[in-house]
Amino acid sequence: MKGLAPADVDSLLRRIAQRDQAAFRTLYELSARRVYAFLLHRFRQESLVEEVVSDTLLHVWKNPDAFRGDSAFSTWLLGVARNKMLERVRHQNARATEELDDADEDLLVEDTTPEDVAAMRQRSEGVRECLELLPAEQRECIHLAYYEGWTLEEIGAQMSLKKETVGTRIFYARKKIQACLAALLARERGQQGAPV
Amino acid sequence: MIPSFEELSRRSVSGELSAPEREALEKYLREDPRLRAEHDWDEAFHAKLDEKIGSMPAMPGWERTQAALRAQAEAPRPAGILDRVSERLSAWLGFPFNAQAVAAVLVVIQAGVIGVYAWQLHVTDYSDVRGSQPDAMGRAASLRVSFKPDVREADMRNALAEIDGEIVGGPGQLGVYLVRIKESNPATAAQRLRARGITVLVEIVGKGR
């Protein structure tokens, strides 16, 4: 899901450089939701996220030449958004990054079963809840890998991590979601089967 | 080097695999049923993420952005290049030389340069220029199309690919695109586009209307 074609990006940025507001609106329509989804998965601070989406796209409006085409436009844009959000979070004296020790993860490493697949398909609300329980940096890896389709190298470059570390984080995040969904389903079944 | 199964599986569900990578993934899946279950989970997870993100606002922060743009437009404009050139000329010549005068001088110089080039190239046959535009527009019909605000770019592309359409203009202030189609029957193309349920307006223009 890399988004806009390079030719479309070039054309829109050229028009934006000429202060074409219709082009800016088109770019906003095509990009803002993805930036929003990324930031919300990563930082969860809904009130800030909308402001940072706006700041990120305004950065493009003010500096249409800042994108040099060294990566896909969406990759660059999410990088701008991430930095702006981190600046805001630091400004609020919040903890900007979470140090994770993947070795501390206490999870049974089991194969994915057909029950896990069925649980994933059935439980939309549960998936959301389980994602919320992940540490921020695992959610970020999961979002970039599964929704944006980035490679481990690309995610590593964005987050200043080794690709192996990214792989480990995704692996544990996936297992945590499976365990969380299985627990949710077991709780539901227990409640359904309990005598009234 | 072929990436690991895990990476291929994840990138497959977000539509990022090349043909050789897709083949490699198929091979993994054929050979190991456990990997098939992993891949099915990845697909289901991606579908849930897609569903969740699809329900998010289409233009988050747009009102704030518009307010910032309005504030920027109302702020004093920094001197443009013409203003700066006219200031220098005024200082150099010793009498006022405004930006419009500078622009007029530049237009005259530009016209002169183009004239010299045309003369040098002995351009006497304009048949290519005359022929290309009417030919392209004469044979193909066009549609005026406006998409719903929450439509994904991928859906727009798929819809245009289905009718063999190409955006040749727009969007205008109201978000209307001009789409040229190669389809012999523009009514069919318009019908197909409407059937996708992602448009607000589909109107045939030009030949075939």
Hey, is A192 helix, strand or coil? Answer: helix
Partner residues linked to B165 by β-bridges: B181
The answer to ipTM > 0.95 is no
Please answer yes or no on whether B48 and A36 come within 8 Å at the CB atom: no
Mutate to test the interface with B, among A8, A9, A11, A25 (most CBs of B within 10 A): A25
Query: A16 falls in which pLDDT band (50, 70, 90)?
Result: very high
Report CA B202 to chain centroid distance, whole Å. Answer: 18
- Residue B17 φ/ψ, nearest 5 degrees: -85, 145
- Checking if the pLDDT of A86 tops 60, the result is yes
Residue B69: CB atoms within 10 Å: 16
> Given this model, what pLDDT does residue B84 score?
66
The two tokens of residue B203 are 């109107």
Q: Which residues in chain B have their CB less than 8 angstroms from residue A25's CB?
A: 171, 175
Structure confidence at residue A45 (pLDDT): 79
Across A133-171, b (16+ Cβ under 10 Å) vs e yields ebbbbbbbbbbbbbbbbbbbebbbbbbebeeebbbbbbb
Percent of chain A predicted with pLDDT > 70: 85
For an interface test with B, give the residue of A54, A130, A176, A181 to mutate (most B CBs within 10 A): A54
Q: Which residue in the set B38, B53, B171 is minimally distant from A147, CB to CB?
A: B53
Distance from CA of A134 to the nearest CA of B (A): 15
Pairwise CB contact (< 8 Å): B65 & A149: no
Instruction: Report the C-alpha gap between A35 and A39 in whole angstroms.
Output: 6
* Residue B78 CA, distance from chain mean position: 30
Helical (H) or strand (E) element with B132: helix B127-139
pLDDT tops 90 at residue A57: yes
Q: DSSP secondary-structure letter at A88?
A: H
For B58, which residue in chain A has the nearest alpha carbon?
A: A33
Least confident of A19-23, A151-155, A185-189, B39-43: A185-189
Determine, for residues B13 and A57 on separate chains, whether the beta-carbon distance falls below 8 Å: no
pLDDT value for A103: 36
CA distance B100 to chain A (A): 19
- Give mean pLDDT, residues A83-107: 58
Contact B59/A32, CB-based, under 8 Å? yes
- Maximal CA-CA distance, chain B: 86
Query: Residue A16 — φ and ψ, nearest 5°?
Result: -65, -35
State the pLDDT at residue B182: 76
**pLDDT given at position A100:** 36
The more confidently predicted of residues A100 and A136 is A136
Q: Which of A40-44, A173-177, B205-209 has the highest mean pLDDT?
A: A173-177
DSSP, res B61: T
Q: Which residues of chain B have pLDDT under 70?
A: 75-102, 117-140, 173-174, 183, 206-209
3-class DSSP state of B80: coil
Residues of B whose CB is below 8 A from A113:
37
DSSP code for A18:
T
**B53 to A117: CB separation less than 8 angstroms, yes or no:** no
| pLDDT for residue A63 is more than 60 | yes
Rounded to a whole number of angstroms, the distance from the CA of B204 to the nearest CA of chain A is: 23
* Minimum distance, in Å, between the CA of residue B120 and any CA atom of chain A: 32
Task: Point out the residue among B3, B56, B171 whose CB comes nearest to the CB of A22.
Answer: B171
Chain A: residue whose CA lies nearest to B62: A54
